[in-house]
Structures are given as structure tokens and as C-alpha cells.
Amino acid sequence: MNDAPRRQIWRTRRALGATSAIIVWFPGCLLAAWWQVHVALAGDSLGWLYSVEWPVFACFGVYFWWFWIHDDPSDLGRRKLWKLKASGEYHEVVEPAQVRTRELEDAELRAYNDYLANLAATREEKAFRLRKSSR
């Protein structure tokens, strides 16, 4: 069994950045929990809640770190779509429920859809951008 691809996961910029972040995050959360235990022992009862909460944050950080390293960004979202389109495997499927025909629209809806299509086609500056730049 070849472990080279598995080892390469740990040498990417993504993995090195996540690992350096977890090296700071995990002990920082445990240190904050220890501090909150001392706060709680000093008489602040809310400190007990925080002393339990910080280790949960630390565990969440480890969970996030693990999946951040092992998820392949090229298999998620827009990058996956680009990859599929480039390989020719992408075929857009239109559900019958999503198909709308102009014949089924009444006159008021047709006029509104034409108005929206006109707005999308003109690509003019938005009003809030015009006000901002005139100052």
C-alpha cells in the first residue's frame, strides 16, 4: 500500500496553516479553561460554565482542523463544478417543476418579469453606489 498521497496531505499550505492555528488554539482554550476554574473558585459562579465551555471550544477546533486538512477543496462547491465541466461530465438537469413557460404567466407577472430582465440586462450603477461616490 502506497502512503505517499496520504503523507502529501500534511505538507500542503492548507494543512500547515491549519496545524499552526491548532497549535495556538488548543492550548489557548485549555489555558482559558484553567483560568476560568480559578475565577470560579474565587467566587464567580459563572466561571464554572466557562470552565466547561473552553474545552468544548478546544475539541471543536480539533474537529475543524481534522476536516479542514482531509477535505479536498477541489471536490467542493464551485471548484467541483469547474472540474466536472472541464472533464465533460457535467450535464445540467432541469427539473420539470422548475420549468416555467411564458404562456402560464398572467399579464401582470409577465410585465414584472420583463422589468426584472431589463434591470439585469442594463447593468447600471446601483443607487447606493452613486450616492457614496458623489461625496
* Residue 105 confidence (pLDDT) above 90: no
pLDDT of residue 81: 72
Inside any domain, residue 36: yes
Nearest residue to 69 via CA among 2, 10, 24: 10
Q: Are 18 and 65 in contact (CB under 8 A)?
A: yes
What is the domain extent for residue 13? 4-77
* Residue 2 confidence (pLDDT) above 80: no
Looking at the structure of the chain, the number of domains it has is 1
Q: Measured between alpha carbons, how far is 124 from 135 in angstroms, rounded to an integer? A: 19
Inside any domain, residue 98: no
Q: Please report which helix (H) or strand (E) contains residue 19, including its range.
A: helix 13-41
Inside any domain, residue 90: no
User: Between these two residues, 126 and 77, which has the higher pLDDT value?
Assistant: 77
User: Model confidence over 64-96: pLDDT tens digits?
Assistant: 998 888 876 666 677 677 777 777 776 666 555
Inside any domain, residue 40: yes
Inside any domain, residue 123: no
pLDDT of residue 57: 97
pTM reported for the whole predicted model? 0.51
pLDDT of residue 61: 96
User: Model confidence over 13-52: pLDDT tens digits?
Assistant: 888 999 999 999 999 999 999 999 999 999 999 999 999 9
Coil, strand or helix at 105:
coil
